[in-house]
Amino acid sequence: MRLRHYTVFDRDDRYFDDSKNAAICRKVANKCYLPANRLLLKLIHEHQGRFKVAYSLTGVLLEQLERYSPEVLSTFHALAETGCVEFLAETYYHSLSFLYSRKEFIEQVRRHVDLMECLFGRTPTVFRNTELIYDNDLALLIEAMGCFDAIITEGADHVLSRRSPNFVYLPKGCRHTKLLLKNYKLSDDIAFRFSNRDWAEWPLTAGKFGQWISAINGDGDVVNLFMDYETFGEHQWEDTGIFEFMRHLSDEILRHPDNNFMTPSEVVAAYEPVGTVDVPRTISWADIERDLSAWLGNPMQSSAIHELYRLEKKVKRTADERLLDDWRKLQISDHFYYMCTKYFADGDVHKYFNPYDSPYDSYINFMNVLDHLQSRCAGRAGRVLESKPTANRREAQVSVTV
């Protein structure tokens, strides 16, 4: 949800660029969500339930679809009704809250679970954190919540120590929660390299990719392909052949008698962990480093996010639902991604998504909004205090101190 241009002279609380957000939502819906959903729905019917897929849909995306492109929601409902689609849990606002506020993180996850149950009649049992951010502490927290069977994260080489991502693992310290690892090489072959004519494997055909999948038989139990859904039609345009590739991929994979498609929860039920994965330092699926530097790699990003979460108690004390929602929408990870100054190997990716002329413009704009939100918070808190009944002078003094 992109912010509008907001200066120090602005005084209203309209922070988000509704016109731009609507235009982008409809554009991506027409290029990606609608054709991709319709294609996958057709494949599910053609294969009589043998083709399966899982989605991780943020609460803020679903809010925008309901407002700007309700037709997309109807296709997700149709997919849900097939019984071949699983909906994963994540933070409602696609936030970095796990890193800064465990209480806020849990509240967002529970709100997202409630939304999945309400919209699709499905209770998520597999969790994926924002941008696949993960470490041992996240696994322990998710297991302590008691409502998830597994977590999906990046199969980063440096945490696997030459082991394969194509097995189910157990997070260090956990007894019940399983770990599903993304096969980043095969996922990125589709998401990033598909249309790269300089790639040695170009053009990537469904037959070739199906052979790569089948070659893993005997050396792995599951291949987790996980990528931005915008890969289909937005990052990889229709004229690259991406939809034709997907149209034939299921045939090529199912051609091998040992291959099948499973939802993440089916994988969890079918396979036992083959070992433990220890991730003491936080990882993600972003960029070459697979770390947090895409969102927290420079002082601007660190300053902005610290100031944002510093307001948590003040915002929640106001009991103002609109103020709380604005504060939470400022947690969306994209705001900090736009402030990234990494313009080397990963620079084109960051510039492609960035609506600002520079990361510094993004930071200034964000902080102007945050400053105004803070003033709203202070004003609202003052009104709350004034409205409190006071039984005696001492109680009034305590209220003012709080």
Annotated active-site positions, please?
Answer: 131
Whole-angstrom distance, CA of residue 205 vs CA of residue 194:
9
Residues in the chain: 402
Q: In what order do the strands lie in the sheet with 276-277?
A: 126-128, 150-154, 178-182, 168-171, 276-277
**Nearest CA among 130, 141, 199 for reference residue 173:** 141
Whole-angstrom distance, CA of residue 265 vs CA of residue 154:
17
Whole-angstrom distance, CA of residue 363 vs CA of residue 304:
7
Count of other CB atoms within 10 angstroms of residue 147: 14
Start-to-end Cα distance in the chain = 33
β-pair partners for 182: 154, 224
- At position 119, the amino acid (one-letter code) is L
**Nearest CA among 53, 27, 401, 40 for reference residue 225:** 53
Torsion sign, CA atoms 42, 47, 48, 53? negative
- At position 38, the amino acid (one-letter code) is R
Place of tokens 């105004």: 372
Measured torsion, CA atoms of residues 206, 210, 212, 217, in degrees rounded to the nearest 10: 170
**Nearest CA among 339, 344, 342, 343 for reference residue 356:** 339
Farthest-apart Cα atoms in the chain, separation: 80
- β-strands 168-171, 178-182: how paired? antiparallel
Count of other CB atoms within 10 angstroms of residue 384: 15
Whole-angstrom distance, CA of residue 401 vs CA of residue 161:
53
